[in-house]
Amino acid sequence: MTTLVRTPSLDHHTLSDAEPAVEWLLEGEPGHDEIIDPSFFDKLRGHRVVEYDMGDWPHLPVRFPMVYTNVSLISATFTIPAAEAAALAPRSRRLKLVRSSPRRTPITFFAFDYGRSGLGRYREMGVALPLVLDGRLTPPMLPALMEAIRPGSHPKLGMYAVELPVDQAQACDGGIKLYGLPKVVGEAEFSLAESSGSASLTCEGRKVAELRVELDGPLGPPKVRPLPITTISLLDGRIIRTAYESIADGHITRRGSAEFVPGEHPRFQKFHGLSLSSKPLELRLIRRLNWIIWGPEDMGPA
């Protein structure tokens, strides 16, 4: 049974008579749907609906399961020296970095465009590291990692967001209160073409970062596939794990190139000078993505 997060300032209750249908969960939210497979959301049947008390919250109610029906994604995964990754990772005896080789660790740069979701319409950029909770991935480490970030996720692995700026206050406040995520509000740009994508974000008049991804052809038609993900964050000194069930329509490949350019904003200074691998470990160009977020789990003290 999922242990949902409770904090001194944030509580929740079950809506016993509510049926978690997409139309009801997104009632009043802006944007339009881009449904890949309507049967995907049949997974909602039989689940209880939990509504969070967000205090002085001027937005629509926050409820889980939370659904996202119109998402696009670009991302690039490289490797960096383990020592550089350790400097970015959270301080926790229970969380260990995943390594792609004895001396290197994957790092993922990504950008999302959320056209419709339970937190409204918004865009975000981020930098994330894969972590293992209460364990370690033993050799062969790279195959285990690649299986984890593709369908069939490793049960103990999650992506930890080092930074995650957004362009909308509701998503920023919700991410901080529910998960303890490192969010600030800025202005974002996002574009996606057949074989390339780019994103940028500015905050307080300063550039935060830019991300560019370009795939080499021939690509073939986009592939529809499950794309589950688990995230890990820290909230009030406790580990929060969140499972995302998803279906994606797009490309995942190693053929291509990517560039991540951190800006002058203070929160992204730590990414200057990273010793990135010469080639990406994986590139993603996902034009359509549907999500179900089951809700944050409290995994205990960090």
Residue at token pair 């290197």: 104
Alpha carbon distance 259, 14 (integer Å): 44
pLDDT digits (tens, 9 = 90+) for 159-186: 999 999 999 999 999 999 999 999 999 9
Radius of gyration of the chain, Cα coordinates, nearest whole angstrom: 18
Alpha carbon distance 54, 60 (integer Å): 10
Q: Write down the pLDDT at residue 153.
A: 57
Distances (CA, A) of 31 to 68, 243, 256, 279: 11, 24, 32, 36
Q: Write down the pLDDT at residue 152.
A: 43
Asked if 127 and 107 touch (Cβ cutoff 8 Å), the reply is yes
Which of 58-62, 101-105, 185-189, 252-256 is the least confident region?
Answer: 58-62
Strands 282-301 and 256-262 turn out to be: unpaired
Q: Omega of the bond prior to 266 within 30 degrees of 0, cis?
A: no
Strands 49-53 and 238-253 turn out to be: unpaired
Alpha carbon distance 94, 52 (integer Å): 27
Would you say the pTM of this structure is higher than 0.85? yes
Task: Between 7 and 19, name the one with better pLDDT.
Answer: 19
Asked whether the predicted pLDDT for residue 263 surpasses 90, the reply is yes
Instruction: Please give the average per-residue pLDDT across 221-240, as a whole number.
Output: 93
Which of 141-145, 148-152, 192-196 is the least confident region?
Answer: 148-152
Q: Write down the pLDDT at residue 145.
A: 55
Q: For the domain 11-301, what is the CATH superfamily, name and number?
A: Acetoacetate decarboxylase-like (2.40.400.10)
Averaged pLDDT of the chain: 89
pLDDT range class, residue 146, cuts 50, 70, 90: low
Alpha carbon distance 257, 169 (integer Å): 32
Tokens of 153: 């996720």
Asked whether the predicted pLDDT for residue 5 surpasses 80, the reply is no
Instruction: Please give the average per-residue pLDDT across 57-84, as a whole number.
Output: 94
User: In 3-state terms, the chain is what percent helix, strand and coil (to 5)?
Assistant: 15, 50, 35
Which of 15-19, 128-132, 279-283 is the least confident region?
Answer: 15-19
10 Å CB burial of residue 222 (0-12, 13-18, 19+) is middle
User: Sheet holding 62-64: strands in order across?
Assistant: 11-15, 49-53, 62-64
pLDDT > 70 in the chain, percent = 89
Q: Which amino acid is at 229?
A: I
Q: Where are the domains of the chain?
A: 11-301
C-alpha torsion angle, residues 188, 57, 69, 243 (rounded to 10):
100
pLDDT range class, residue 16, cuts 50, 70, 90: low
pLDDT range class, residue 53, cuts 50, 70, 90: confident
Q: Which neighbouring-strand residues pair with 104?
A: 81, 101
Asked if 76 and 283 touch (Cβ cutoff 8 Å), the reply is yes
Asked if 65 and 28 touch (Cβ cutoff 8 Å), the reply is no
Asked whether the predicted pLDDT for residue 288 surpasses 90, the reply is yes
Element (H, E) at 142: helix 141-148
